[in-house]
């Protein structure tokens, strides 16, 4: 595991300390969990953005419609 050093605003560090104490958790573990959740949030936001972009792309919509038509034909058999 690598070591990472950073600076935080005093008020944020105070909140971190208070929450870590409430949860009986080391501050580094709380930061690790928060960062993991935030990175997952960013990844989901990117998926949402790409799906929204795909929804306006006529070529992608055409390919999707063709795929659905094939799928429905297979279901009918």
This prediction's pTM: 0.65
- pLDDT for position 14: 97
- pLDDT for position 73: 85
Domain-wise residue ranges, the chain:
19-76
Give CA–CA dist 51/60, Å, rounded. Answer: 10
Give CA–CA dist 19/15, Å, rounded. Answer: 6
Residues 6+ apart with CB under 8 A from 60: 54
Query: pLDDT tens string for the chain (77 positions)?
Result: 899 899 999 999 999 999 999 999 999 999 999 999 999 999 999 999 888 887 788 888 788 888 888 888 888 87
């Amino acid at each position: 595991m690598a070591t990472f050093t950073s600076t935080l605003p005093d008020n944020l560090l105070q909140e971190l300390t208070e929450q870590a104490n409430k949860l009986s958790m080391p501050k580094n573990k709380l930061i690790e969990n928060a960062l993991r959740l935030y990175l997952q949030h960013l990844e989901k936001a990117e998926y949402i953005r790409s799906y929204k972009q795909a929804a306006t792309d006529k070529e992608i919509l055409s390919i999707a419609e063709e795929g659905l038509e094939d799928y429905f034909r297979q279901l009918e058999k």
